[in-house]
Structure 1
Amino acid sequence: MTDSNRVHNRLIHEKSPYLLQHAHNPVYWYPWSEEALTKAKEENKPLFISIGYSTCHWCHVMNRESFQDEEVAEVLNKYFVPIKVDREERPDIDKVYMTFSEAMTGSGGWPLNILATPEGKPFFVGTYFPKRTRSRMTGIIDLINKINRLWKNDKDKVLEESEYILEEVKKRYLVNETGNIKETVNNDAKEGLMRIFDEKNGGFGSYPKFPMPQYLWFLLEHSRKNNYREALKITEITLEKMYKGGIFDHIGYGFYRYSVDEKWLIPHFEKMLYDNALLGIVYTRAYEITGKSLYKEVAEKIYAFVIRDMSSTEGGFYSALDAESEGEEGKFYIFDYDEILNVLGEEIGELYSKYYNITEEGNFEGSNNPNLILHDLNEISELDRSNLDKANKILFEYRNKRIKPHRDEKILTSWNGLMIASLAHAAQIFNNEDYSKIATKSSDFIIENSMDKEGHLLSTYINGEGYNVGFLEDYSFFIYGLLELFEATNDNKYLDLGVRLTEDMIKLFGDTKDGGLFFYSNISEQLIMRPKDVYDGAIPSGNSMAIMSLFKLYNLTKEEKYKKIANKMLYAFGDDINNNPLSHLYSVIAIEQR
């Protein structure tokens, strides 16, 4: 049966790669829409809202186990109105319901599954569910049947509970602690990072271990400004350990999303545009401060990967590469010992295996993820380095013949803004005109394709169409990219556009009562609550990047109003930042740089 005549649901008409992955499920999925919400109200059914993204491993697992299953589909279709959401296409919906997940369960992740009233007010949240109950893990069929009985027999109590949850979340999670930024906040952040630094392996905390570019970027700025050698030392240890580890793709370059162990050995094999943009900035900044060639080499490898594998012909950058190929995580990237010898020949194969930790036993499910963890980079001879470089080129060509992981070809304005900033900064530090041209091409692509007739940013572009009103992260990240690009090119059109978009950002997202900027604008769809995001996770918050952009704009224009707005925003979140600087480090970086 071909794709054209397979049974499909409403998602077949969507543009999102994630939604299209579910278009042939027997579940009667709706995209997030007024049609779905109206149907739930008319038929008196609760909503089953499932949020994920196209390169998410556990989203794939739940799809295979549950959403492709006829039994699951039967009860879901019968008792709920099922809605699928791509979190990258609709980060506003994801932000709202992730806030509920964190409030109700203390954690969150993807797939994020929400059971909600027809108005979208949640009364139950969870992440991955297997088809059948096993051990302490509730199966989705049992969950659906239980909730259906509750909805039929005690609906008023469910509605009452959903109202209570909504009001409690609003009271506790939509209120920010104001205050003046303490003079000690930078030192407090540094001390906090020193306490959680992993002296043996580099990085911070235990496992799973994320690169956390903001930790490293802050330490670089702090060491530069205060001549604090210990901050620089732990940054350099981490930068080298990360590069040597299996979290870096030594054959095709670029960083994977995170390491499942504390040694950086085995990654979750997803590659995200935002990670590589931010790590590119960090390695470039490290070279700028120390002059050490290793950091320039790593940055250039990051950009080589992005330019080769994540760039559209039109100029925009794609979102992500999947961890899976042929249904197996990491299959594209790993090698058997004998395979290495067959491809490289015995002599070079043995040399490669010695340095890159390739063994018959393997380090990942019987195969090998190449890494340099066991070796001092300074002790690799020039001859061996040359042979290893040649071997990696041969392995790259060999590997490239395999079935490749899925690439999510959404072009997101926000993440493109980060990559534009990264390349534009590197263009200045490395005196690389090509990086400047590529950043310019990407910026011009966004200007041409992801702005509406009124000049408002759009958040997403795919298959020839830009759509969805831009969110705060689209504005603040793209503005930051424009300002870096102006510094790289000295072309006033990028500064002028950065100024105009900054003015628009304040009007569209500003909270005139309590300060700060809302996650989505006053011309966007209004959801059950309107959060403000200042917490920096794997992706910077929209408010922190807005603060960074405002200070940069002040430094470029000397217009006092931008500095005042940035300082007012810092006051609006002041005690949040003071009390937990590690969760707000992009804001603290802005303080270091102002």
Structure 2
Amino acid sequence: MQGSTVTDIKTNKLIDEKSPYLLQHAYNPVNWYPWNEEAFEKAKIENKPIFLSIGYSTCHWCHVMAHESFEDDEVAKLMNEAFVSIKVDREERPDIDNIYMTVCQMLTGSGGWPLTIIMTPDKKPFFAGTYIPKTSKYGRIGMRELTNKTKELWSEDKDRIFDSAEHISERIKEAAKNSPGDLLSEEVVELCFKQLSNSYDNKNGGFGNSPKFPTPHNLLFLMNYYRINKDQKALDMVIKTLDSMSMGGIYDHIGYGFHRYSTDEKWLLPHFEKMLYDQAMLTLAYADCYNITKNDYYKEIAEGILGYCNRVLLSKEGAFYSAEDADSEGEEGKFYVWSIKELRDILDDQELELLSRVYNLKENGNFKDEATRRFTGYNILHLKEKLSELSHDKYDDNLNNTLDKIRDTLFKKREQRVHPHMDDKILTDWNGLIIAALSKAAAIFNREDFTKVASKCADFFINSIEDNGSLFHRYCKGQWNILGNIDDYSFMIFGLIELYEATFNDRYLKKAIDLMNEQIKNFWDDEGGFYFTSSNEEEVLTRMKEIYDGAIPSGNSITFLNLLRLSRITGNTEYEEYCEKLQKAFSNIIKESPIAYTQMVSGILLSLSKSEEIVVVGDISSDEFKNYVSSIRSVCSPASVLVAKNTNESHPLIHEIADYTRYQDKVDDKTTIYICRNFTCNEPVTSLSEAIRMIGK
């Protein structure tokens, strides 16, 4: 484009959007529209089908398809003639993504991103696929052929297309209905444990074969199962998996944090993008494992993850950005890998030899190109044994200090590289998860700095609710947009409950209850379960109810746990009634394959277990109070709840939230513990050792 200026470059309708993903496509020759009525009206007037492309800004194959087709003038010309084309950021509009991903899975048996849908102007789909190459190959139809074929069929056989679209839409509406069943029992918990045991990889940790996703809620279920049933096998699976992931290439040994998933079964070669939700859920898993084992290794990994989040993903507003891309300079993983030649220019011979031995680096590279199956010449740092377990016969006692120095050198060098693209939109649901993770880590590790970060993040969203009158899904470039979905509500409530238990600031608990009541009002289906979208939101084909616990748990699964905890904290039995209706709504589908719903089954496990409401009364700022709480946390059941009453306040808000606390006061002016179980309360105790003895008995 010699001689042109920025103002000469033609843009499409995406140029006014906020989403980083949509803006990536604003200069495509394809005449993209955002999802809005203007696009659908244009399709009706011009009598054209809709080409819907759904992806996200850090998606590698989304970039590939864009470079091959959407930036190609020839393909764009064909698309502009045949379609009205719409781009959707799946992270901005998960409601649209959920509907059409269901279509894709129904029609093709699989799904993924980029998600490609062709549909009628009234949003009814008749074609679904994922990545489509420019020309037909890999057994996939190409964009040129698909566009020409669709244009031909639309012109010559439109009635058949509309019949097909109508049939598919009816199938989707039918699939969205759920058939309520009975309450779930211990039988489904045991089946879930059995299915996880059967799919467990004894050699490498994790579940199933490649590609391997971290799926932390599997591990959280197993840790709850271990603590309640004392089955060592459950904990062994967790430990092996957490160890293998943190030693593998899926973990960033230089800058910390986890990549999205491993393309192989050994956790070596990752898909390099880093997602906020993975960091949050994995922090919860590592922190929980530390709480059980008291092994500092898991604390170090959890703190490393949060260190990455605070350093890289934290915005000036105090909330967290969504993700870092897998690609930089047009190549996946380029930011993270090292050649021996480059390392020779950075390190001395002794340092390079030590790094190569410890982190398994090879002259020709230590991983193969997936397409050619040849070594790439590049290395991914990974361990075959923990640093603490390396033989002292092979390494001197100063090993850790030397490695710290080398990693610091590499980190500073890596910072000079072109960084992966940052998706700087702020999503409410994922921030709810990181608030929960920061709060849990703060409580377990006694890290007040984590509490401060979590509180500032939570305050950002609480203030937005007060300003906007409702919870919104996305904040980007100074603007809130898109009404909150069930994940936004459930994950934020989850985060606020965890933040309350970390700080005992009643305001966070009160806001969690307010949001829970609003969620019930706007999302509850009288036949059972919560819709993904609010009753105030646009309906796309039909309102869906999500229960599958995939890369992250479903909103319904997290809501079940929220309701259970709030009922026990507040004494409000209505929340427990919603719990019963919620599990009945999905019980038939969960019983078929509980391994697909481990977060929900984890909630069922806790609901069936003995619980205790533990109220600590005293000066919450005192060292004695903090010591009592810390000790209680380390021994109480995951099914229990911890409540505090601050005697420094003349009119504690907790009285309004949990009326039973009005009558619980200090005894002999000492920090006092009240332990209640099975609707019965024991005599209050002031002795910590006595309280520890009573808990769980």
TM range (shorter): over 0.9
Instruction: Name 2:400's counterpart in structure 1.
Output: 385
Q: 1:187 to 1:342 in 2, by over 3 A?
A: same
What is the aligned counterpart of 1:401 among 416, 432, 435?
416
Query: Given that residues 178 and 585 in structure 2 are in contact (C-alpha distance below 8 angstroms), is that contact kept between their aligned partners in structure 1?
Result: no
Written as runs of structure 1 = structure 2, the 5 A alignment for 1:148-227 is: 148-227=151-230
Instruction: Name 2:627's counterpart in structure 1.
Output: none
Partner SS for 2:480: strand
Code of the residue aligned with 1:383 in structure 2: it is N
CA distance in 2, matches of 1:484, 1:189: 26
The answer to whether residue 563 in structure 2 is matched with residue 560 in structure 1 is no
CA distance in 1, matches of 2:57, 2:24: 7
Instruction: Name 1:548's counterpart in structure 2.
Output: 561
Query: Given that residues 17 and 54 in structure 1 are in contact (C-alpha distance below 8 angstroms), is that contact kept between their aligned partners in structure 2?
Result: yes
Identity within the alignment, %: 48
Instruction: Name 1:100's counterpart in structure 2.
Output: 103
Instruction: Name 1:478's counterpart in structure 2.
Output: 492
Query: Given that residues 49 and 84 in structure 2 are in contact (C-alpha distance below 8 angstroms), is that contact kept between their aligned partners in structure 1?
Result: yes
CA distance in 2, matches of 1:193, 1:135: 33
Query: Given that residues 178 and 586 in structure 2 are in contact (C-alpha distance below 8 angstroms), is that contact kept between their aligned partners in structure 1?
Result: no
Instruction: Name 2:610's counterpart in structure 1.
Output: none
CA distance in 2, matches of 1:174, 1:323: 37
The answer to whether residue 468 in structure 2 is matched with residue 453 in structure 1 is yes
CA distance in 2, matches of 1:461, 1:172: 32
Q: Deviation per CA, 1:315-374, whole angstroms, max 9, x where unpaired?
A: 010000000000000000000112223212111111011111111010232200100036
Code of the residue aligned with 2:594 in structure 1: it is P
Give the unaligned 5+ runs of structure 1: none
Q: Deviation per CA, 1:474-501, whole angstroms, max 9, x where unpaired?
A: 0000000011111111111111111111
CA distance in 2, matches of 1:26, 1:448: 40
Q: Deviation per CA, 1:259-309, whole angstroms, max 9, x where unpaired?
A: 000000000000000001000000000000111111101100000000001
Farther off after superposition, 42-51 or 168-177: 168-177
Partner SS for 1:263: coil
Instruction: Name 1:424's counterpart in structure 2.
Output: 439
Q: CA deviation at 1:557?
A: 1.2
The answer to whether residue 480 in structure 2 is matched with residue 466 in structure 1 is yes
The answer to whether residue 589 in structure 2 is matched with residue 586 in structure 1 is no
What is the aligned counterpart of 2:427 among 412, 432, 438?
412
The answer to whether residue 32 in structure 2 is matched with residue 29 in structure 1 is yes
Instruction: Name 1:272's counterpart in structure 2.
Output: 275
Query: Given that residues 341 and 350 in structure 1 are in contact (C-alpha distance below 8 angstroms), is that contact kept between their aligned partners in structure 2?
Result: no
The alignment's C-alpha RMSD in Å is 1.2
Q: Deviation per CA, 1:128-150, whole angstroms, max 9, x where unpaired?
A: 11111125221101011001111
Q: 1:380 to 1:531 in 2, by over 3 A?
A: farther
Give the unaligned 5+ runs of structure 2: 368-375, 608-697
CA distance in 1, matches of 2:347, 2:540: 57
Q: 1:563 to 1:581 in 2, by over 3 A?
A: same
CA distance in 2, matches of 1:484, 1:388: 35
Q: Deviation per CA, 1:140-162, whole angstroms, max 9, x where unpaired?
A: 01011001111110101110111
Written as runs of structure 1 = structure 2, the 5 A alignment for 1:228-377 is: 228-364=231-367, 365-373=376-384, 377=388
CA distance in 2, matches of 1:151, 1:377: 65
Query: Given that residues 450 and 461 in structure 1 are in contact (C-alpha distance below 8 angstroms), is that contact kept between their aligned partners in structure 2?
Result: no
Code of the residue aligned with 2:460 in structure 1: it is F
Query: Given that residues 247 and 255 in structure 1 are in contact (C-alpha distance below 8 angstroms), is that contact kept between their aligned partners in structure 2?
Result: yes
Q: How many residues align?
A: 592
Q: CA deviation at 1:390?
A: 1.6
Partner SS for 1:358: coil
Q: CA deviation at 1:433?
A: 0.2
Farther off after superposition, 456-465 or 546-555: 546-555
CA distance in 2, matches of 1:5, 1:307: 39
The answer to whether residue 125 in structure 2 is matched with residue 122 in structure 1 is yes
Q: Deviation per CA, 1:217-246, whole angstroms, max 9, x where unpaired?
A: 111110011111011111101110110000
Farther off after superposition, 181-190 or 31-40: 181-190
CA distance in 1, matches of 2:555, 2:181: 18
Instruction: Name 1:55's counterpart in structure 2.
Output: 58
Instruction: Name 2:584's counterpart in structure 1.
Output: 571
What is the aligned counterpart of 2:541 among 512, 518, 528?
528
Partner SS for 2:157: helix
CA distance in 2, matches of 1:324, 1:359: 23
The answer to whether residue 516 in structure 2 is matched with residue 502 in structure 1 is yes
Farther off after superposition, 378-387 or 431-440: 378-387
CA distance in 1, matches of 2:481, 2:391: 50
Farther off after superposition, 1-10 or 222-231: 1-10
Instruction: Name 1:76's counterpart in structure 2.
Output: 79
Farther off after superposition, 369-378 or 61-70: 369-378
Query: Given that residues 450 and 467 in structure 1 are in contact (C-alpha distance below 8 angstroms), is that contact kept between their aligned partners in structure 2?
Result: no
Code of the residue aligned with 2:338 in structure 1: it is F
Code of the residue aligned with 2:263 in structure 1: it is V
Code of the residue aligned with 2:178 in structure 1: it is V
Code of the residue aligned with 1:489 in structure 2: it is T
Partner SS for 1:573: helix
Q: 1:185 to 1:2 in 2, by over 3 A?
A: farther
When Rg is computed on C-alpha atoms for both structures, the one with the higher figure is 2
CA distance in 1, matches of 2:417, 2:193: 44
Q: CA deviation at 1:532?
A: 0.3
CA distance in 1, matches of 2:384, 2:79: 47
CA distance in 1, matches of 2:138, 2:473: 42
